[in-house]
Structure 1
């Protein structure tokens, strides 16, 4: 029996109950005469008693309550922010609609103004044509007058030169003196 398992003996305090299972006996461990499930139950009761004594459930509930309050505050802020965002969206939608109406009104006003400017430009153009035509006619008539005056001056100069030549040929000093006496006597 060299390969036979070794059996350890336990003290009477730790081994109290024996249970039969099939061919062999099974011995359950015990502590202070209590079975393992009883020791676990007592440990749990002690743990719960310590937690109640140290007010752990109250702290847990307080922590949960504060977390719930924080979440409610965040939800209220989110609702408020959403309401503000919707108000801003509506405000900007109204502004966009007004801007579109204003743009249409501006376009219509600009079109009317452009038509008025065009009509005024046409009228001014026609007036300018009339003025320029009148100015051209005035220049032409002034040029005609100047040409007539120039022709008259040349004719007068030619007549004066011709008269001088004729007078010089036909009059002598005695005729000049007789003519001067007649002019003096006429005055």
Structure 2
């Protein structure tokens, strides 16, 4: 009986009874099943995470390609805009040169017209003076009826030469 009163013995017997009850109720199998379920669930989550990672990498690669495309497109647009600006500047320079040339020709034409008008005016004045001088000379040296006939003939001839 001393053995039954010994606390170490009672603890050992209680422990073996407890382990026996656990084995009889199949607790280790339930624990193993729960752990297997948990491991299976973790494997599924890992597989889903792997698939999500692959999809994310695919999306990332797609976005990187699109970004490179957009960068190339932007570079093309900038290049095109520069070329158009150069062409517009060249066209503007050409138009300015044409405009200056037109204005220069117009000024030269105006100068030529002014010179021609001045020349006509001087010529007309010289003719008027010559006619008047001839009329005076003829008046003083000729009889009136002959001078009058000569003046009329001279005026008619001058009119024909001017027109």
Range into which the TM-score falls when normalised by the shorter chain: 0.5 to 0.7
Q: Which residue, out of 98, 101, 122, partners 1:127? A: 98
**1:63 matched to which residue of 2?**
34
Alignment of 1:103-182 (within 5 A): 103-136=74-107, 144=114
Distance 1:107 1:79 in 2: 41
- Whichever structure has more strand as a proportion of its residues is 1
| C-alpha separation in 2, matches of 1:47 and 1:79 | 43
Q: Residue 74 of structure 1 corresponds to which residue in structure 2? A: 45
Structure number with the bigger relative contact order (C-alpha 8 A, sep ≥ 6) is 2
For residues 62-95 of structure 1, give each alpha carbon's deviation from its aligned partner in whole angstroms, at most 9, with x where no partner exists. Answer: 2212221221122112211211221122222222
Q: For structure 1, which runs of at least 5 residues remain unmatched after alignment?
A: 1-12, 17-29, 156-187
Aligned partner of 1:20 in structure 2 is: none
CA RMSD of aligned residues (A): 3.4
User: Bigger radius of gyration, 1 or 2?
Assistant: 1
Q: Determine the structure 2 residue equivalent to 1:102.
A: 73
Aligned residues: 124
Aligned to 1:46: 17
Gaps of 5+ in 2: 126-163
Provide the rounded CA distance (Å) in 2 between the counterparts of 1:75 and 1:137: 91
TM-score, normalising length: structure 2: 0.57
- TM-score norm. by structure 1 comes to 0.51
Distance (whole Å) between structure 2 residues aligned to residue 84 and residue 116 of structure 1: 47
> Could you say which structure has the higher helix fraction?
2
Give the Cα separation in 2 of the matches to 1:60 and 1:138: 113
Deviation by residue 1:34-72 (Cα, 9 ceiling, x = unmatched): 755543332222112221233322321222122212211
